[in-house]
Amino acid sequence: MDPKLRRMASALLALLLLLLGGMSSPFSPQAGLLEKVFRYMDLHQDEFVQTLKEWVAIESDSIQPVPHLRQELLRMMAVAAEELRRLGASVDLEDLGSQQLPDGQTLPIPPVILGELGNDPGKPTVCVYGHLDVQPATQADGWLTDPYTLTEVDGKLYGRGATDNKGPVLAWINAMSTFRALEEDLPVNIKFIIEGMEEAGSVALEELVRKEKDRFFSSVDYIVISDNLWVSQRRPALIYGTRGNCYFTVEVTCRDQDFHSGTFGGILQEPMADLVALLGSLTDSAGHILIPGIYDHVAPLTEEEKELYGAIDLDLEEYRNSSRVKKFLFDTKEEILMHLWRYPSLSIHGIEGAFDEPGTKTVIPGRVLGKFSIRLVPHMNMSVVEKQVQQYLQYIFSQRNSSNQMAVSMVLGLHPWIADIKDHQYLAAKRAIKTVFGTEPDMIRDGSTIPIAKIFQDIIQKSVLMLPLGAVDDGEHSQNEKINRWNYIEGSKLFAAFFLEVAQLHE
């Protein structure tokens, strides 16, 4: 379709949706304002895409501890801060110091942006969290295009960070800038907390939140996170829970030097054999975790929760095809969603010390380190899980009568999070979604871990909402990550509508 015709059709659809419902009255001032907002966004969508292209071009990789990448991260934070200042926001760049790495090098931690626009006591204050760091990406990894050059193909905007999380952060800024461009009063006070180390574990962020609890966060009414995906390609979603994560290493050591298999093969208890046996003992072929007691504290399934799974728009065949998986462990939508969201899972991630290069090196590793994690759900306790894992693996290892040394460590522990879907801002988000998309949202959880949600909930003790923009096939962290132009632009409209709905409910 011709771009002009597409924009006209989008504007007409937006007006129709406003007339059919969403705002309390089709002829209310809010409905008329939103129609102007939506029309402006349609007309200026290419500018919004251009800004995203400029942000994607910054290689803000927080995972690889390389000085030039850390400088790119610092540049990314400075660009975002300047964009907020351009809109009239006051911005502080909170210095978090430096990071000492295991090899002895020191790298600066990118500052956290604390931005604020508006302090009207008669308006609610919405605090938006986002991050601007990304996972590593090179075209050699299997990308069809340069990951740091935003490339549009059939309405899909490909680029590292497009959906995780630069696109959603910019969608909030697009909503703000549209009100400003139209010379309309922003219906809420808005605050931003934007970090640059989320992919690397949000280094020092919790300490900053604690420090700012009674200052920056003191006036906050609602906290919104847009760092997730829908479970569908076309139907929006609201997220009310995430799993936690306990990450473990299990090390098996014979000596600190490798062996030649021709000289020592057959007379050693090989560390790799011990490790493979240990890792293989963690789950059965159906994915059930074999560690005794691991399911004891999983919250029971209620009828109300069960009904939510039945209402979710998930085409299993489409989901399987887009995942490029022949067969899942479960056959029904409800079983798959429950095992993704409300039951724990265990995944094996890799082995250090093993020979994994091309070729036929006949080595017996003298020391190997296996890595696995358990996704936690409410009401599992991290310290209990840690103890259960250690005791179980010690028992399995003892059965092998190995002369090697074995050590289990939990190197990362992150709590699960769950929200009250009856909170005001969930209602506001539902209304905004109905206004923009003409449908009710899927009420879903996220099987991954977003630690900041639990941090905000526990420290600031305010309602936390997860309002995602991305489609299920966006491929965050993967090759060919993308965000659909439609999701990006309609998501910007959604955030503008959300501002108005929150203001209306707050009154």
Note the pLDDT tens digit of each residue in 260-307: 999 999 999 999 999 999 999 999 999 999 999 999 999 899 998 888
Assigned token pair, 163: 């959906």
Q: Which residues of 385-404 are buried (b: 16+ CB within 10 A; e: fewer)?
A: bbebbbebbeebbeeeebeb
What is the number of other CB atoms lying within 10 angstroms of the CB of residue 310? 9
Counting every residue written for the chain, the total comes to 507
The edge-to-edge listing of strands for the beta sheet with 156-158 is 151-153, 156-158, 482-484
Q: Are 249 and 408 in contact (CB under 8 A)?
A: yes
| CA–CA distance, 323 with 329 (Å, rounded to integer) | 14
Task: Say yes or no to pLDDT of 25 above 80.
Answer: no
| CA–CA distance, 91 with 269 (Å, rounded to integer) | 60
User: What does the DSSP 8-state code read for residue 167?
Assistant: H
Task: Say yes or no to pLDDT of 353 above 60.
Answer: yes
Give the model confidence (pLDDT) of 128-178 as tens digits: 999 999 999 999 999 999 999 999 999 999 999 999 999 999 999 999 999
Q: Over range 392-421, report the average pLDDT.
A: 96
Q: Are 222 and 127 in contact (CB under 8 A)?
A: yes
Q: What are phi and psi of 117, to 5 degrees?
A: -130, 110
Q: Are 125 and 188 in contact (CB under 8 A)?
A: yes
Question: According to the model, what pLDDT value does residue 201 have?
Answer: 84
Q: Over range 27-34, report the average pLDDT.
A: 75
Question: According to the model, what pLDDT value does residue 28 have?
Answer: 60
* Helices 3-20/424-437 angle, 10° precision: 130
- Could you tell me whether strands 125-131 and 345-352 are parallel, antiparallel, or unpaired per DSSP bridges? unpaired
Question: According to the model, what pLDDT value does residue 137 have?
Answer: 97
Task: Say yes or no to pLDDT of 217 above 60.
Answer: yes
What is the model's pTM?
0.85
Burial of 68 (0-12, 13-18, 19+ CB in 10 A): exposed
Among candidate residues 152, 174, 154, 173, the one with its CA nearest the CA of residue 162: 152
Assigned token pair, 142: 């299997």
The pLDDT-based confidence of 429 (bands split at 50, 70, 90) is very high
The pLDDT-based confidence of 89 (bands split at 50, 70, 90) is very high
- Could you tell me whether strands 405-414 and 189-195 are parallel, antiparallel, or unpaired per DSSP bridges? unpaired
- Could you tell me whether strands 442-446 and 237-242 are parallel, antiparallel, or unpaired per DSSP bridges? parallel
| CA–CA distance, 292 with 244 (Å, rounded to integer) | 19
Q: Can you list the alpha helix ranges (DSSP code H) found in 59-115?
A: 67-86
Question: According to the model, what pLDDT value does residue 29 have?
Answer: 63
Could you confirm whether 133 is annotated as catalytic? yes
Task: Say yes or no to pLDDT of 20 above 50.
Answer: no
| CA–CA distance, 63 with 56 (Å, rounded to integer) | 16
Q: Are 145 and 139 in contact (CB under 8 A)?
A: yes
Task: Say yes or no to pLDDT of 332 above 50.
Answer: yes
| CA–CA distance, 277 with 86 (Å, rounded to integer) | 58
Burial of 272 (0-12, 13-18, 19+ CB in 10 A): buried
Q: Where is pLDDT greater, at 4 or 53?
A: 53
Task: Say yes or no to pLDDT of 507 above 90.
Answer: no
Question: According to the model, what pLDDT value does residue 19 have?
Answer: 45
Task: Say yes or no to pLDDT of 237 above 60.
Answer: yes
| CA–CA distance, 61 with 85 (Å, rounded to integer) | 24
Task: Please name the amino acid found at residue 446.
Answer: D
Give the model confidence (pLDDT) of 224-233 as tens digits: 999 999 998 9
Q: Which residue has the tokens 């969930």?
A: 426
| CA–CA distance, 387 with 147 (Å, rounded to integer) | 42
Average pLDDT score, the chain: 93
Q: What are phi and psi of 345, to 5 degrees?
A: -135, 155
What percent of the chain clears pLDDT 70, i.e. is strictly above it?
A: 94
Give the model confidence (pLDDT) of 69-82 as tens digits: 999 999 999 999 99
Helix and strand numbers (H, E) in the chain are 15, 20
| CA–CA distance, 14 with 23 (Å, rounded to integer) | 12
Q: Single out the catalytic residue among 42, 61, 164, 198.
A: 198
Q: Single out the catalytic residue among 42, 59, 83, 133.
A: 133
Question: According to the model, what pLDDT value does residue 9 have?
Answer: 54
Q: Are 171 and 49 in contact (CB under 8 A)?
A: no
Give the model confidence (pLDDT) of 200-216 as tens digits: 889 899 999 999 999 99
What percent of the chain clears pLDDT 90, i.e. is strictly above it?
A: 83
Give the model confidence (pLDDT) of 433-486 as tens digits: 999 999 999 999 999 888 899 999 999 999 999 999 999 899 999 999 999 999
| CA–CA distance, 427 with 151 (Å, rounded to integer) | 36
Task: Say yes or no to pLDDT of 417 above 90.
Answer: yes
